[in-house]
Amino acid sequence: MLKVQELKELIKALDQSNVDELKFEQEGTKLVLKKQQAPVQTVEKVVEVSREAAPVVSAPAAVETKMPAKEAPTSVEPKEPATATNANVHTITSPMVGTFYSAPSPDSAPYVKQGDKVTEESVVCIVEAMKLMNEIEAEVKGKVTEVLAENGELVEYGQPLFVVELG
């Protein structure tokens, strides 16, 4: 059986590779990891990397396959104005693959909602992975300006969950 740290390392390795799917079987336990179509932010990161590392053969190939699926010119053009405003904005991302829960129980109020103030230690949500409830902390002080995930939604490693205006 894989340990949580080993699973995180597998997910990170898959995320950083050009492989789209990983199948792993050990002692009757099967694990299948698949990459989801990259969100616009991920495409922006790939574009940024390909500009800096143009000689790398694999990065431009990834850009060619992913950018036509999304609106390529739109994702590149807003990046420069967004960079000026992003200095005061932090995105809280999922540290693992799992199910997003906005509240500690179905009957409870959400940990945070748009407009709420958070501190570094504020719990903003739970990501359930392998029947373990992992509390996700804000890690920054500010105001939640956007909630990007729906309650009960499956989230991927690195997927943006919240946008926090620092302050």
Distance (Å, rounded) from C-alpha 111 to C-alpha 20?
34
pTM of the model: 0.49
Q: Which two tokens stand for residue 120?
A: 């570094």
The pLDDT, as a whole number, for residue 46 is 42
Collapse the DSSP code of 19 into the 3-class scheme (helix H, G, I; strand E, B; otherwise coil) and give the result.
coil
- pLDDT at residue number 85: 52
How far from each other are the two terminal CA atoms of the chain, in whole angstroms? 43
- For residues 112, 117, 118, 119, the Cα torsion angle rounded to the nearest 10 degrees is -160
- pLDDT for residue 56 is more than 60: no
Query: Structure tokens of 7?
Result: 């699973």
Name which residue leads in pLDDT, 11 or 98: 98
134 has pLDDT over 90: yes
Query: Which H/E stretch holds residue 23?
Result: strand 21-26
Question: Which pLDDT score, from 0 to 100, does residue 37 have?
Answer: 58
Question: Residue 23: its pLDDT value, please?
Answer: 78
> What are the chain's domains?
4-34 (no CATH), 39-87 (no CATH), 88-167 (2.40.50.100)
Average pLDDT, the chain: 75
Ranked by mean pLDDT, the top range of 2-6, 94-98, 163-167 is 94-98
Residue with the larger pLDDT of the pair 103 and 52: 103
Tell me: pLDDT of 65 over 60: no
Q: Kindly state the tokens that stand for 57.
A: 């053969």
Q: How many CB atoms lie within 10 A of CB 23?
A: 9
Six-digit token string for 128 = 């359930």
